[in-house]
Amino acid sequence: MPGVWRHRPIIIGSIVILSLVSLDAGYAAWARGIVRAAPKIAPSKCERSKFKVILDVGHTAEAPGARSARNIPEFDFNLRLAKRIEDRLKSEGFAETSLLVTEGPARPSLFKRAAVINDSKADLVLSIHHDSVPDSFLEEWEFEGAQSHFSDQFSGYSLFVSHDNPKFRTSLRFARLLGKQMKAQGLRYARQYAQPLMGRYRRKLLDKRVGVYRYDQLIVLAQTRVPAVLFEAGSIINRDEEMAMESTERQDMTGAAVVGAVKEFCASR
């Protein structure tokens, strides 16, 4: 068994002599300073006050993204969560954290935000979103007298990285750290993206432990030259999870996960 050693007596004279010679040689080497101490581990070079994080608020007021089961625009969820994360990061010493709020139509705004990110020379970009489902999964219901849609079939967060990003491996490393932190908060990731039923929305699952997917075509990931991750914090088309997304408790859990991941990422650079 590993770790169990059987001690046998040394009964051959030559082995005793060799052992003594070896001991003498070791002592002499030590005396001459030849035996070197183990190398010291370099301290972390993370300077939180200079580490630049951009929190990209997904979508725009003009193109607000998906609608929740209760008809709230995704953009509202994204902005609220991004502000909470910004406050938490700054309170932990990441003074260079900033929100990126883009205006205009959907597709032009994507290229606009990529250009801003590249000019900023940020150390990390996290694009904040909230998830929905393909139209084929939607069901109708009425909320407060208004027709709406929902799908309670899927829930959970998800993380996306692009292989076209020149910092793909670094992006993947941060995505894994964030997924690990989300898992530690007791949150589960959305597993449907790896399933055939998602059709053209199906993605390759890069890390089945913490929910990191590959999505090469996302402009905010593929067109940026810094580590970038898109974060779907949860499903707002799921009626129960939408209510959870509205709660300060869930927002604090998510914020704590992001802060923990950023700390670890910065310290490991």
- State if pTM tops 0.75: yes
pLDDT at 44: 59
Question: What class is the 48-267 domain?
Answer: alpha beta
CB 220 within 8 A of CB 56: yes
Give the residue from 254, 125, 124 showing the smallest Cα distance to 181: 254
CB 131 within 8 A of CB 67: no
User: Low-confidence residues of the chain, pLDDT below 70?
Assistant: 1-44
pLDDT at 57: 98
CA 258/CA 181 separation, integer angstroms? 7
pLDDT at 45: 80
pLDDT at 201: 96
pLDDT at 43: 55
Three-state secondary structure call for residue 258: helix
Per residue in 91-114, pLDDT (tens digit) is: 999 999 999 999 999 899 999 999
Q: What are the residue boundaries of the structural domains of the chain, listed by start?
A: 48-267
Three-state secondary structure call for residue 102: coil
